[in-house]
A = this chain, B = another copy of it.
Amino acid sequence: MRSMVDSEVTSTRSRERTRQRLLDAAAQVFAEVGLDAASVEAICDRAGFTRGAFYSNFETKDELFLELSGLVATERVAAVRSRVGELEQEGGFDLTPTDAFAIIEQVLDLSADDRLGVLLMSEIRIHALRNPDLAAAYLEQEAEMQRGVAQIVADIGRAKGIRFRVTADEAARIMLLVWEGAAVRAAMGGVDAEELRRRTSTELALVAQLTIAD
């Protein structure tokens, strides 16, 4: 006899798959046309379901958006955290001081490294501007990212004996802002992922250069 737990798991498995497909589809559609212009039906079409599946899994479109925003934030932070962990392990970096900041580029590019990713983050950001709860979550996630980047900055400085003109936190904050702004401008030009990465990289290198004391 299959235990009740097992049955719940099995049942939940299939359910989780539809939820996930709906979330993935929603991420695409939200990125493409925005939360408000995205009809529930458009999301379901994309996922290969009808609206019945949607309302069986989510209360409203807003609830799904909230959940999606949370997932995106969690994933970004986890990716940064794990990358920072790896770097802590590795210890020494055999890069030139300036190039060392390519690491930070990698970290930031861990998410939102293509046009749709940038669009989705922008969509989340603008709704955070209008929703205090979402704003708190957004700022907290960003603060966590900033801590991760600051740690890498400090590590690089220590390993390479680099002196900075501002604190690691300040450097990290500016890097995040510039990275985001550059990514948005690149996405506006409709460039592909490769070119997008190239452009953000260039701007980031500029900021890195600025933060390093001669």
Contact = CB atoms under 8 A, between A and B. Distances in A.
| Interface secondary structure of A, over-half rule | helix
22 contacts: A33-B130, A34-B34, A34-B126, A34-B130, A36-B36, A119-B129, A122-B129, A123-B126, A128-B188, A129-B184, A135-B189, A166-B206, A174-B206, A174-B207, A174-B210, A176-B181, A177-B177, A177-B182, A177-B203, A178-B181, A210-B211, A214-B214
A95 interface: no
Given A34-B36, A166-B210, A210-B166, A132 B190 contact: yes
Interface string A157-191: 00000000110001001101110111011011110
A202 B165 CA distance: 16
Contacts of A207: 174
Interface of A: 32-34, 36-37, 118-119, 122-123, 125-126, 128-130, 132, 135, 138-139, 142, 165-166, 170, 173-174, 176-178, 180-182, 184-185, 187-190, 203, 206-207, 209-211, 214
B126 A166 contact: no
Chain B CB count within 10 A is highest, among A119, A166, A174, for A174
B166 A129 contact: no
A165 B135 contact: no
Top 4 A-B pairs ranked by shortest CB distance? Answer: A177-B181, A36-B36, A210-B210, A135-B188
